[in-house]
Amino acid sequence: MLKCQPEVFARDENQRLLLRGDSLQNLPMFVIHHKNLSVLSATIGLISAVSLGAEMPAENIRIQLDTRSVVSRISPDFIGFGYETSAVAQTNYFGPDNATLIQLYRNLGRRGLIRIGGNISDHTRFITDGVAAVHPEEQVSIINQASLSNLAGFVRATGWKVMWGLNLGTGSKEAAVQESLAVQQALGDRLQSFEIGNEVDLRSRYDGKFHDYAGYYSNYLAYKMAIRAALPRAVFSGPDVAVNLSWFTNFAASEAADLKLLTHHYYRTGADNPAATLENLLARDESWDRRLERLQRNSRDHGVGYRINEVNSFSGGGKPGVSDTFAAALWALDYMFDLATHGCSGINLETDINQHAWFSHYSPIIHNATGRCRARPLYYGMLAFSLAGHGDLLKLELTKGGEGAFNLSAYATRNDQGFPWITVVNKELSRAAVVEVATPEMFSQASAFWLKAPSVRSKDQVTFAGADVSPDGNWTPGTPEILAIKDHAVRLLVPPASAVLLRLQP
């Protein structure tokens, strides 16, 4: 029997539990008892995240943590950004004096990976004393020694490293050698690896050079041999495929012993596809999960890690009204944990100008002509992962109380200090979750850090841990909400289109 304040909870025609948002506005706390589940919400701050003024279905969710079972180890440089090579040619952007961009990186951690490449890498020339030029992929972009020096100063200020893509499409192995030497000289120990070519399985980009895997691999070996003759210790990653898994598996079988990482790309779909909707972005991509299982198996079988080194919501620069909204933050947080669950070494979320030379709608960071940067909603999803996405990923069991699907994900991690984190991402657009997390005996309370916005379609007013990112790039988390652990469980309400990170404490 449901026992609660009737103005707070009710039943709909299907006997589902309903949360009446309009009744919560002035309530400092509430307690309900339903199927022996006691739910406590301790602050108005939590309740205010619920859209007020309408009845809202609520789903009971139980999470059981298994601290003895480690699913995977999250790489210290898991988080990363991806750029078209033309980004390096921009002035007032990468450089040791761009304090705002440096701080945006530092917020995410002192270790990370920048991937420079994309379509533009196959249409870029390095000219030592040339005039740097940014162009779309139909033209040639130019980078010079000053471009590389600025990038080097930037990555040294952040502590991050660089995966650098070389021109396989319109270049030559001789030009690749020259560029590799310049990149190595500029970046030094900040260079993580080279890649040769971009999305090499999309063969239309390489017509006249190769038409099948055998032709690609022959070109790859020729480039690698030429570069190694000049840089004997050069490190490589690849094959940088877009869709063709057989190219990935063939490359892994041949090159795994001589690779830093295997690389693959992912977009939910193209921005022009009618399926590029907010609802589809937040829905589970089961076909991609099946592919991740195969990527993980190949990686494990050949003893080399794999990375999704070009990824974002929708290819072609993303879709306005979706890729630049709070929905992208929820998607990114969930997606990064999903990759970690599948043993992935990391992610490079595409940002800045795209192959068409305009700012992508999906870019987590944008800047103006002076280089002044600001964070978009997607960045906040990365920020949330940076807080909990460390150490061991632990096994957990998630049980849903109602029938039918409920779009909620949960993940557990244990940091190097031994403290567990639980991340809950509610991607339902109109249904709240009444969540109970069973906790080990040694913990007595939990700190809650909320990722939220006024609406799933919000393009601003996004906050994480009660704070936004300031104009100078700084982010300082507010005081977390403290939840008591009672009867070895912590209980809370997770509103629709929101996420919460719980840190368990003694």
Residues 132-144 pLDDT 10s: 999 999 999 999 9
Within a domain: 4: no
pLDDT score at 208: 85
pLDDT band at 55 (very low <50, low <70, confident <90, very high): low
Q: Average pLDDT, stretch 161-175?
A: 97
Within a domain: 3: no
159 pLDDT higher than 80: yes
Decide: 479 and 466 in contact? Cβ < 8 Å: yes
Q: Are residues 265 and 345 in the same domain?
A: yes
Which of 388, 405, 439 is the C-terminal boundary of a domain? 388
Q: Sign of the C-alpha dihedral, residues 23, 24, 29, 31?
A: positive
Decide: 431 and 369 in contact? Cβ < 8 Å: no
Cα-based distances in Å from 345 to 72, 254, 307: 10, 20, 5
Which of 337, 359, 388 is the C-terminal boundary of a domain? 388
What letter represents residue 310's amino acid? Answer: E
Decide: 130 and 144 in contact? Cβ < 8 Å: yes
Q: Are residues 433 and 420 in the same domain?
A: yes
Within a domain: 2: no
Q: Are residues 405 and 362 in the same domain?
A: no
Q: Are residues 248 and 168 in the same domain?
A: yes
pLDDT score at 203: 81
Gap between the terminal Cα atoms of the chain: 34
DSSP secondary structure string, 282-315? HS--HHHHHHHHHHHHHHHHHT--EEEEEEEEEE
Residue ranges making up the domain that contains 19? 9-72+391-505
Average pLDDT of the residues of the chain: 90
Rounded to two decimals, the pTM is 0.90
- In total, how many domains does the chain have? 2
Joined tokens for residue 381: 């999803």
Domain of 495: which CATH number?
2.60.40.1180
The C-alpha atoms of residue 207 and residue 14 are separated, in whole angstroms, by: 59
426 pLDDT higher than 80: yes
Within a domain: 138: yes
Which of 369, 388, 407 is the C-terminal boundary of a domain? 388
3-state secondary structure of 482: strand
The C-alpha atoms of residue 463 and residue 478 are separated, in whole angstroms, by: 10
- Residue bearing tokens 């997606």: 335
Domain of 180: which CATH number?
3.20.20.80
Strands (E), 113-196: 113-117, 124-126, 141-143, 161-166, 191-196
- Cis before residue 364, ω within 30 degrees of 0? no
Residues 304-341 pLDDT 10s: 999 999 999 999 999 999 999 999 999 999 999 999 99
